[in-house]
């Protein structure tokens, strides 16, 4: 009986595959290592610090002190204060401020435990302000106090106080 053409080529392909099997295995191993090296999936789980500069506008500002405003009147007054160093000047940043007071308000820096009369005024802002930045005057330094006060201008009532701590 004559051999079929298809059967003959199958046998030939099988012997060729057996002969080239080590080359295919080696190629698969090299490809797997190359793909692993290119994508490094374990790097997704490594916790390392990144040593690179901050964006241009933020790079010059250094956070020095921070604190949370707490209500002095028992209502739902709250917010956050940060003191930043921008070159040789200082800036106080008021964020997330909310109160039921009508304003306008004065924000001041004072030594914790000293009288409000000793406070160094930083700025004035109106009711409804959620975020505001205040540049500290040349005679005012973060070393002048360790607390920030928010008082209502109309009746000089203390609305909120924040004890500031090193950032």
Residues 39, 63, single domain; the answer is no
| Averaged confidence pLDDT in the chain | 80
Q: 3-class DSSP state for residue 31? A: helix
Q: How many domains does the chain have?
A: 2
Q: What is the dihedral of CA 137, 138, 142, 146, to 10 degrees?
A: -60
Closest CA to 153 of 112, 111, 120, 105: 105
Question: Which pair of tokens denotes residue 33?
Answer: 């290592």
What is the pLDDT at residue 4? 56
Tell how far CA 73 is from the center of its chain: 31
Residues 111, 62, single domain; the answer is yes
In a domain, 51, yes or no: no
Residues 102, 158, single domain; the answer is yes
Residues 98, 19, single domain; the answer is no
In a domain, 118, yes or no: yes
* Domain enclosing residue 36, as ranges: 5-45
Average pLDDT over every residue of 153-158: 80
In a domain, 32, yes or no: yes
Residues 156, 120, single domain; the answer is yes
User: Rounded CA gap, 151 and 158, in Å?
Assistant: 4
Residues 61, 33, single domain; the answer is no
In a domain, 12, yes or no: yes
Residues 39, 62, single domain; the answer is no
Residues 31, 67, single domain; the answer is no
User: Rounded CA gap, 142 and 162, in Å?
Assistant: 13
In a domain, 50, yes or no: no
Residues 75, 12, single domain; the answer is no
In a domain, 84, yes or no: yes
This model's pTM is above 0.85: no
Residues 81, 32, single domain; the answer is no
pLDDT digits (tens, 9 = 90+) for 61-82: 778 888 888 887 777 788 899 8
Residues 66, 134, single domain; the answer is yes
Q: Tokens 């009532």 map to which residue?
A: 157
Residues 34, 85, single domain; the answer is no
Question: Which pair of tokens denotes residue 157?
Answer: 């009532």
Cβ–Cβ under 8 Å, residues 92 and 124: no
- Kindly tell me if the per-residue pLDDT of 6 is higher than 60: no
In a domain, 142, yes or no: yes
User: Rounded CA gap, 112 and 105, in Å?
Assistant: 20
pLDDT digits (tens, 9 = 90+) for 93-112: 888 888 887 778 888 888 87
Cβ–Cβ under 8 Å, residues 96 and 70: no
């Amino acid at each position: 009986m004559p051999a079929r053409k298809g059967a003959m080529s199958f046998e030939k392909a099988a012997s060729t595959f057996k002969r080239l099997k080590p080359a295919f295995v080696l190629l698969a191993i090299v490809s797997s290592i190359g793909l692993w090296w290119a994508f490094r999936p374990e790097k997704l789980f490594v916790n390392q610090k990144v040593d690179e500069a901050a964006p241009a506008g933020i790079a010059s500002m250094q956070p020095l002190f921070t604190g949370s405003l707490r209500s002095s009147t028992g209502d739902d007054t709250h917010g956050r204060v940060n003191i930043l160093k921008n070159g040789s000047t200082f800036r106080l940043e008021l964020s997330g401020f909310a109160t039921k007071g009508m304003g306008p308000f004065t924000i001041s820096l004072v030594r914790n435990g000293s009288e409000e009369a000793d406070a160094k005024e930083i700025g004035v802002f109106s009711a409804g302000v959620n975020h505001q930045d205040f540049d500290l005057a040349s005679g005012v330094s973060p070393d002048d106090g360790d607390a920030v006060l928010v008082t209502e201008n109309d009746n000089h009532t203390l609305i909120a106080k924040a004890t500031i701590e090193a950032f």
